[in-house]
Structure formats: structure tokens, C-alpha cells
Structure 1
Amino acid sequence: MDQLLNFRSGSKLSYFRSSPGSKLSFQSEDDRETALSSDVTPKPKPKPLQGMTPTTFSPEVEETYKSSHKRVSVTKARTPKLSRFSTQKIITVNEGDRDEEPELIEKEFQQYQIQYSHVINDQAKIMEEQMKKIEEKIKVSPKLNKIKSKPISMRNFKKIGESKSDKLIDHPFRHLIFNPTIEEEIFNKHLRITQRGLIYSKRCLKGPSDQFIEKKKISLQKINPSKLNTIFLDLDETLVHSCIQKENSQIKINQINDDGSQNEIGINVRPYTQYFLQELSQFYTIYIYTASSQSYASAIINYLDPQKQFISGILNRTNCMETKNGFFIKDLRIVADLDLNKTLIVDNLVHSFGLQIENGIPILEWNDNIDDLELKYLLEYLVDASEQPNLKEFNVAHLQLEQLIDYTIK
């Protein structure tokens, strides 16, 4: 996104100002009534990821299980449960196991296995089917096999060798950085920017009327009409960084303006961008949605996708909703015949997709870090999401963005 957002919601009024580098920021005079106040905001408990909750049973089955063990006395014995990351093993969490007779515990464990073996087998089959689907995708695209991590819905950061020293491994919003290794300072900055965008979107941003949306509606073409899933990608600070004169740019490209004149622009391209677009195009129809001009966006896309194989089209500033404060909001409802349940949007600033938070994925902003791996790991999350019947529900369950609004960031 072309604008960096710094937001504090106040009790009376939020105002906007320009900051160096022609980037807009917005602040308020009073922070006391916002979720940014660390003194009054409770820390919510994160919800478990979809499809990874501990196994539960109906009251009838529980009663049968309890009655069959009335005569067995085990001190402080808790019901064993399935491991969160394995459907084929049972992990006991009984605190009193060491004090009990081994024969009684073994007998109880065996009875439990017999009674609930069908549940374990069912879950094992589900996992097996998921793994087969992933293997089939790898056969179609061998490059995906080179990525070391698994999609976030199945990923256990503690088992990834690269993240052994990750201090943030138990953070409830660690998943908002897709790279399994990240510096704490960078992570907290990303969390604050994301939280401010969420607060602005939920408490200040008002959507346009249905009549206005109808006037702005556009129809988009697809390279491959058979693809059901759609994704919109931001340009600046998501795929590329546009350099000012003082910065050393990786690439120089010519921009042809509307009046026919030309000017040279310098850009840095985020690591794995071409690979990301190439692989992602197998699962989604890709559009660029930017708050920049059409001529600027076209010049960059012509460089990234010269053969027009991966990107189906560009939405530019004229397709954004401009607020009275000068912010450009990307409202997906302007696209005709778009199924929002099959759509995602990626942007480094949440307010850009503030009218469709459920569809949005906030990505770590990028300028020139050559070691950045976000696109590489984001790809796996998107591939996993593409298999779901409802991408929006999948995204809500996994990212849990709205829970971040009231979270106290240290």
C-alpha cells in the first residue's frame, strides 16, 4: 500500500496529517477510549485454529465412559486426549500417574482406546486425505516441495528447525508473520500497524451507499475463467517498493503517462515475487489492487509479468473509495459477479481492506530486506486456503484479526 497508517482513536475526533515522504498518517488528541490503551484493555484468550481443537464427545458417550470406570480409583486422573498435532497417538496428561499402580493405569488406557478407537481412526483418515491432496498439488507444481514449512492450519512452529530460538513462539498472534523466524521489534511494529488499521476500520470507517457502489462497479476479465478462487494483491510495500531519489533502487523502468510523456522510476522487488505469482496463479485468478495510478501500476506489472501469464488485471486509484481525509479504501463490492466467499485480499495496511476485514490478509510491509521470506511462506497458507469451500471463513478462523483489536501490545 502506498500510504503508511498511524492511528489513534480519540473520544471526540480523529484527524489526519502528512508525514515526511508524502505518506499520510492519522492521530487523535485522546487515546483513553481506544483499544490502544494498555491500562484498560483485557488480553483475550486466542481461539484454537479451525480443525485443530481437542477431540470432544457427546454427553451420552461421556456418561458411558464414566460409568464403566466407577470401580477404578485413580488419583487426579484426567481424561486422556488426542494430541493437537497428531491424530494417531494418545497423550496422557494425568498428574497422578507416578503415584498409581501401573496395572490400573494400563487397563484404563486400553479400555479408553477400545471405546474411542473409531474416533481416532476417523481423524486419522481425515488427516490422510489432507496429506494426499497436498501431495497431488506438489506433483502438479514440484517447486512447492522445496518450501520447508507447512500451511499455517497444519504448521507447528515448534517443530520447524529454523524457529528453535524464536522467542515469540507462544505469542497469540505470532501467526500474523508467516516467516517462522522474525525479530521481536519487527513483529511488534507489524502488530501495532495492523491493530491501528483494525481499530480505524471497525470504529471509524463508514462504507459507501449501495447506489454509490453500483456506480463504481466494474467487470474484470480472467486469464483462466475456470478458476473459482480470486485474490487481490497490493503493490507498494507488498510486492515492490518504489524508491525515492536518495535510495539505491534494484531496477529502473520507464513509466508512460496518460499524456504520452515518459519518466523513469526506480523500484525494489520483494524476494520470491515472480515465484509467488507463478505458483499462486495455479490456484487463483490474480488481480493487482493499488491506490497508485494506472500508468505507474502498469509499468511495474509489465516488468513483473511481461507475458501476462499470471496477473489478469489491475485495479487502480480510480477504483478505490476516497475518504474525506484522503485515504483510499479498496472495496471489493465494486467488482461485478465476485463471490466474496471465494476471495482474499493481501495488503500491508489493514485499512485498505477495512470494509472486508474477513477477506483480508495483512502482510509485513517491505522496503529493501533481501532476506525477506514472507511471500514464500504466505504462498503455502494461500495454497491451503484454496482447497477450502469457503475462503473467507477459513481466513477468519486462522488469522483471528478482530481479536487483535482489544489485545494489549507490550
Structure 2
Amino acid sequence: MEYAQDDFFDLTKLQPGQTHAPNGWLLDSQPDALKGRKCLILDLDETLVHSSFKYMRQADFVIPVDIDNQIHNVYVIKRPGVDEFMKRVGELYEVVVFTASVSRYGDPLLDALDVHQSVHHRLFRDSCYNYQGNYIKNLSQIGRPLKDTIILDNSPASYIFHPQHAIPISSWFSDAHDNELLDIIPFLEDLSKDNVEDVGIVLDINM
């Protein structure tokens, strides 16, 4: 279901407590170095990585997270192809990782994951839009033209307001033979081109 933006339901309006940039949007103005690029919003958990408090022998890295003044180790495995995927999209897009997780977990994870410095912005749970008890990634609040904005997320509930701007991806936990990130690269290369004037129209047809 798609929600119309009307007088009764203004999707651009911030909710109390929502963290945002000084300009009133979730992101500051597009940096000059990225001018003209489309905006790609990436989910984190079960899209790029899988994390667990339980010991995982195959973990690619371990991050300490402070919860109630106690340090807990979080074991993280990377989805196959994530390094190549991140490197390529960082060359093509203004890349935003937007996760419903909290920053004390997401920040150190991204510090370890983003080996190519491909992520230009990070948004966390406190920037999500609360709707019927769900944390929504509200693309109308990002501060970028919707026609240039794409979200890649394993959870359709996250982009319930903007399904026509989404590239769905299956939830990933440990399948070593998964190729979805690498398979998506050619499509994202095409969408990044100047002749694509509205990504929503292309995604609506292809998805």
C-alpha cells in the first residue's frame, strides 16, 4: 500500500524527538563533491551483514557494545560480495546507511565494515519515523529529491511509504553462496546514469 502525501498526512513533517540536521531534513545539503549523484539508502542488518551476541566461529569481526554500562561482544559476518558492492556504489551514489539500530552498535560496525569509505552519511533509529509502532525510513524526510532516491532493504515495512523507490533484497543470515549484492550492481549502475530522470518510474516497472 502506498500512502499519499496530503494535508492530513504530511510525510515531510518531523516527529517529536526525531534526530535531524540543522536544515530541518535528516541530511545536510548535498556536499559539492557529490553534487549530481543520486542517493542510495542502504539498510544494515540482514541486508549487508548479520550480527549476533552469540559466538559465531565464522565472524568477520567482533565489536564491543556498551549496554547498560556492560560491554557485550557482537559477532558480525559480512554478506558475500559486500566489500565489492560497497566500493562500487560508493563510486556511483551518495550513499546513506540508514538502520533502525542504535548508533552505539551501528557506528563501530560501520567503522569496521566500510573499508573503502563508501558511506557518506549514517542514520540510526533516532532518525526513523515512528508509524504504528514500526521504525520507518521515511524517504520524504531525507532532504533529497525523491526522483533521485533509492532504498535497498530486506524489510518492506521499512519503506512502506515509498515502495516504488525500493529494491527489495532477501534477508541474509549465513548463506555463503548468496550472490544478491553482486547481482544488484549492474542494475544500480544503470539507475545511476543521467538518462534516468526518475528512479521511481524505472523501479515501479522492474520490481
Fold shared per TM-score above 0.5: yes
1:344 maps to what in 2? 150
Considering fraction of residues, name the structure with more strand.
2
The correspondence of residues 10-409 of structure 1 with structure 2, limited to 5 A, is: 201-202=1-2, 209-210=10-11, 212-213=13-14, 216=18, 217-220=25-28, 222=31, 224-245=33-54, 247-257=56-66, 262-306=71-115, 309-324=117-132, 326-336=133-143, 338-387=144-193, 388-399=196-207
The 8 Å contact of residues 213 and 333 in structure 1, kept in 2 or not, is answered as: no
Secondary structure of the 1:288 match is strand
Considering fraction of residues, name the structure with more helix.
1
Letter in structure 1 aligned against 2:72: N
Equivalents in 2 of 1:246, 1:317: separation in Å? Answer: 25
Superposed CA deviations along residues 55-111 of structure 1, whole A, max 9, x for unmatched, are xxxxxxxxxxxxxxxxxxxxxxxxxxxxxxxxxxxxxxxxxxxxxxxxxxxxxxxxx
Equivalents in 1 of 2:106, 2:122: separation in Å? Answer: 8
TM superposition shift of 1:364:
1.3
Letter in structure 2 aligned against 1:370: A
- In structure 1, list runs of 5 or more residues that go unmatched: 1-200, 400-410
User: What is the percent sequence identity of the aligned residues?
Assistant: 24
Q: 1:289 to 1:208 in 2, by over 3 A?
A: farther
Q: 1:314 to 1:373 in 2, by over 3 A?
A: same
TM superposition shift of 1:249:
4.3
Secondary structure of the 1:213 match is coil
TM superposition shift of 1:306:
4.4
Letter in structure 2 aligned against 1:251: D
Equivalents in 2 of 1:361, 1:211: separation in Å? Answer: 22
1:154 maps to what in 2? none
Letter in structure 2 aligned against 1:374: E
Equivalents in 2 of 1:393, 1:222: separation in Å? Answer: 26
Equivalents in 2 of 1:245, 1:259: separation in Å? Answer: 18
Superposed CA deviations along residues 35-62 of structure 1, whole A, max 9, x for unmatched, are xxxxxxxxxxxxxxxxxxxxxxxxxxxx
Q: 1:315 to 1:293 in 2, by over 3 A?
A: same
The 8 Å contact of residues 253 and 299 in structure 1, kept in 2 or not, is answered as: no
Equivalents in 2 of 1:365, 1:386: separation in Å? Answer: 24
Query: Highest relative contact order (Cα 8 Å, sep 6+), 1 or 2?
Result: 2
Q: 1:372 to 1:259 in 2, by over 3 A?
A: same
Secondary structure of the 2:164 match is helix
Equivalents in 1 of 2:103, 2:32: separation in Å? Answer: 19
TM superposition shift of 1:386:
1.1
The 8 Å contact of residues 243 and 249 in structure 1, kept in 2 or not, is answered as: no
The structure with more radius of gyration: 1
Equivalents in 1 of 2:11, 2:187: separation in Å? Answer: 33
Equivalents in 1 of 2:12, 2:189: separation in Å? Answer: 35
Superposed CA deviations along residues 264-320 of structure 1, whole A, max 9, x for unmatched, are 21011001101101011111011101110011111111011246x210111111111
For the aligned residue pairs, the C-alpha RMSD in angstroms reads 2.7
The 8 Å contact of residues 231 and 285 in structure 1, kept in 2 or not, is answered as: yes
Letter in structure 2 aligned against 1:213: L
